[in-house]
Amino acid sequence: MIVSLAPARPRGALSLIFIVAGILALASCSSTPSQQSPSPSTSSASGNDSAASTPIRVTINGQVLHARLWDNAPARDLLDRLPLTVRLQDVDNQEKVGYLPKPPLSADGMPEGDDPQPGDIGWFRPWNTLAFYYGDVGYSGGIARIGRFDDPIDLVKAQTGFFHATIERAS
């Protein structure tokens, strides 16, 4: 008598394996587009329309820079809090950031992230910080572009250590 220690296989097991493999192969060919990482938003998606903007002044060490806040939820929220003085510092030689007073700005209607360009004014949602961009930080989740400097931003870039910026509506 021969005794096998291997478990007995049902006759249809091999067929079942091929059927399951075929179903999985067909499912991977579905026409549903794959999930992609977020892409930088366009200006209209963020409400970054310069025609619908509010002029502001940013004063640093007695020097005035002209800028605009766009018509989007966090920018409108910031406008309601002006005039405001923010203590900023450099981050990665690309941006100057400073904490805003609580509560955080509204993020209603804003994309999950953005790709700010040098000269943009942004808000970083997770830390409730205002940012003046002078370098290319690339796309990041949590960033909302809320405005842009009209003047060159050399003054912003030149600041070292902590400094204060007063933001107010332009008259």
- The pLDDT score that the predictor gives to residue 51 is 63
> pLDDT above 90 covers what percent of the chain?
69
Give the CA distances from residue 86 to residues 76, 126, 142, 145, in Å, rounded to whole numbers and listed in that order.
Answer: 17, 17, 20, 17
Q: Tell me what pLDDT residue 20 has.
A: 44
Strands 140-141 and 113-114: antiparallel
pTM passes above 0.85 = no
Domain ranges of the chain: 54-169
**In the predicted model, what is the mean pLDDT of the chain?**
82
Q: Give residue-wise pLDDT tens across range 53-64.
A: 999 999 999 999
pLDDT in tens, 10-63: 455 444 444 544 444 444 444 433 333 344 444 444 555 556 899 999 999 999
Quick one: pLDDT at residue 12? Answer: 53
Helix or strand run (H / E) with residue 86: strand 84-91
Fold topology of 54-169: Cyclophilin (2.40.100)
Q: Return phi, psi of residue 145, to 5°.
A: -80, 125
Coil vs helix vs strand at 55: strand
Cα–Cα–Cα angle for 98, 101, 107, rounded to 5 degrees:
85
Alpha helices in the chain (DSSP H): 13-28, 73-80, 154-158
